[in-house]
Every structure is written in C-alpha cells, then in structure tokens.
Structure 1
Amino acid sequence: MALKDNRKRARSEAEKEARMQAILAAARDMIGESGFDGVTMAGLARRAGLAKGTLYLYVRTKEELFLALFVAAMEDFLVRFEAEARAETLVEDLTRLAREVPLFLPLYARLTAVIEVAVSGAALFAAKRRIGALSARFIAHLARLSGADEGRAAEVGQALMLTMQGAAQFDITARRPQ
C-alpha cells in the first residue's frame, strides 16, 4: 500500500504516522505472502512506495520493523479485549482474540529470543514503554472483569501474558510463517 505523493517529505506528525502505518501494512502483506524470512528492507521500501533511505528513517532493521508490528498487534489485541472479553468467558475470549489478531502470536513467539536482542536501545526502550502502558491497560481491564484488586489482577495478567507467549512459542512450529 503506497501513499499518494509518497515522494513528498512527510513533515507533520500525522503525515509521519500515516507513512508508518503504510510501512506496517506493506510488511503485513509481505509476511502473509512470503513469511517473515521473505521480508527484505528493499522489498518493503518498494511495496510501500518509498526510497530505501526513507524507509530507514522509520525502521532501521527487520527486527525493529517486527517490534513495531508487535506493538501494533498488541494494541489491536487490547482494543478487542476491552470491547469483547466477558468475565464468564474470559479464557475462551483471550484464546480466541490472541488467535484472531493478525500476527500477534507469531510475533509474540519471536519477541524475546529474536526481536528484542537485535533492536537498538532507543527503539527498544520506546517500544517497552508502550508495551508497559498496554500491559497496564490489560491488567486494569482484567481487574474490572474479574472483580479482583489491581495487585491480584497484575499477578494473573502477567501469568496469562507469559502463558500466551509460551503457547505461541510452542505453537509456532505448527503454523509458522517463514
């Protein structure tokens, strides 16, 4: 998905955000077509309608790209969790949402072993801050659903997230995009 007039410099924050969203959409398409290993920065720049140098202003490496995709997938997961999860069907809802949000589980499986170890400090720190804020929202909603106090919800929430990550790592061999 290329932006209209994509050769023009993105100056405003809205233009920069639109360009980043176009990059992420192009990356999702590439992963869907040829797996994680099929994503190249040159191919992504072409697909997004950008010069390769412009792409590097937004993401410096494939792993940084995958981290941005994970944060976006986690945001999508959380928005749906807040809208759809019910106390009576919490486990089923979590499982369903984790599977339905595109790339959430495959990226989660790669997060600590592949992605985070290859991302620079500043980019990793910014992503971790965003993930921390999303996790806090997840825990707050979990507390509302379960009626548990925030401390107990934090313990359960962390256990659930770790369980999802472990399940994703286990499941990755069955349905892994290359």
Structure 2
Amino acid sequence: MPATDALTRALAAPGEPPVRPLPPAVSALLRTLAAPPRLAAHLRLVHDVAHELADRLARHFPGLEFDREAVLFGAATHDIGKVLHTAELSGPGSAHEPAGRELLLAHGFPERLARFAATHATWHGEPVSVEELLVSAADKVWKGKRVQDLEDLLVGRLAAATGGAPWAAYLELDGILGRIAEGADGRLDFQAAFPV
C-alpha cells in the first residue's frame, strides 16, 4: 500500500472503539508534511484520550479552568517533530521536541499552541501550566502508562481548583485515568496497524 493511502487510513479509519478525527488544520498539516502513518495514528489516539480526559475533568472538577482548545491541539501535535526525526518513531530521542515547536511556528501556528510539541515530555522546572500537564498525561495514559510525579502535580492543581483535600482529588483522578487506561490495548493495536 502506498504511504499516502496508509496516511489517509491513519487519519480517517474509524477505529474500534471509534477514534475521533484530528482537527482539520492538523490533518491538513500532516498531509502537507507527508507524515508517517504511524505518527498520524499516534497523534489521533493521544488527541482522542485528551478529549476524554478533558470531558471527565470538566464533569468531576468543574472549578478547574483550562484552555480546552489548547489541550486538544497540543495532544494532536505533541510529536509532530517526529516528521523530521523519524528514528524517534521507533526509538528513543528528544530532538523532535524543539523541532516540533519550530515546525508548528513555521507553519503559522501561534506559540501558545506550538509550545506543547516542546513541553509534552517535561513537567518539572519552569512553571508548567495545567494545559501542559493534561497533554503530558494524555500522552502517557493512552498506552496505559501511569507516571506518579506527573499525576501528583495534576492532583495539586485539581485540589487547588476545588478547594478540596488532595487525597480526594487523587482518588478521583486515579479513577479517571484508570478507566482511560483500560482501553490501552485497543489503542496500541490501532497504532500498530500503520507503518512507520
């Protein structure tokens, strides 16, 4: 199958359970860049999980303020730099992070959205926004991975937003992430169906 056909499938295949499509601007960019199909599938999956995470947090923590559009865009583009660093699609590396930010900026996306490509793998150091924590969490839990220090930071933000006890925020977040993580095998199968 030609790479363009595989990319089209990665961007449009319904998935089981259904996987939401990427924002049109992101799909168009991936087509323009002739992105590897596996990357497109991965971005769809993390974007889909970010949708679910944002929806659940909005229901369970209505006092939590965050830029939903930014979170969804960040999840949909967090690994876009792997278009330029394709070895990082199947191996370790972080060169794609600053490259992704620069790529998005070069294609006219604002810094407030492009930043996630550079920040999705780090959540310590400079003040990290709740949006960045949510993109990072979606990028982990899509495959069933749980990262305690990341979740602890998110619990702190959730407790502060609600004025509740951190342990209560922890229990609620743990349940939300646990339910999302249950679908990891299906998501991994979906991603693996597309070539690197």
TM-score normalised by the shorter chain: which range applies?
0.3 to 0.5
> TM-score, normalized by length of structure 2?
0.33
- Higher helix fraction (1 or 2): 1
> TM-score, normalized by length of structure 1?
0.35
Larger Rg: 1
